[in-house]
Amino acid sequence: MSKEIERKFLVKGESWRALVNPHFYQQGYISTINQTTVRVRIVGENGFLTIKGKSEGIARCEYEYQIPVTDARQMLQELCDQSQIQKNRYRIPIEGLVWEVDEFLGDNSGLIIAEVELEEEEQVIVLPAWVDQEVSGDPRYFNSNLTKFPYKNW
């Protein structure tokens, strides 16, 4: 079983922007039942289908598969809710970890979240200066919930 162990934080300031260039992401959800999600994502010219299980603390099972981008486009159009996530993602390597900073667009514009995937739940990490409050356990910041309850309405 593939397991995702991830911590999420709000981002402060702008210093992180100078570190890397963004990649545009578009994603939608086929299902979000009982805290299990089935997501379709396009990054550049690559499509992905991801299944994530229920969160237990900061961990959950995750299975991700690359699919043809034409299939991903069709799934986003025909199978996913019309409220979808659009964001720019910045991948920033720091001290052996890769921080992913998501700058949300559209209805979630103004929201910037940094995520870091860990090897184990108790792993000690050094927080970059631009990392602010931790929101790992707050379901409002789950991408699947941002499609239903966008940041602009908070």
Q: Which H or E run contains 70?
A: helix 69-78
Q: Give yes or no: 29 in active site.
A: yes
Who's near 35: CB < 8 A, 6+ residues apart?
Answer: 53, 54, 55
Who's near 72: CB < 8 A, 6+ residues apart?
Answer: 40, 41, 42, 47, 48, 49
Token pair recorded at residue 129:
């200066």
**Measured between alpha carbons, how far is 109 from 86 in angstroms, rounded to an integer?**
9
Catalytic annotation, pick one of 29, 63, 65, 151: 29
**Measured between alpha carbons, how far is 150 from 107 in angstroms, rounded to an integer?**
6
- Please list the active-site residues: 29
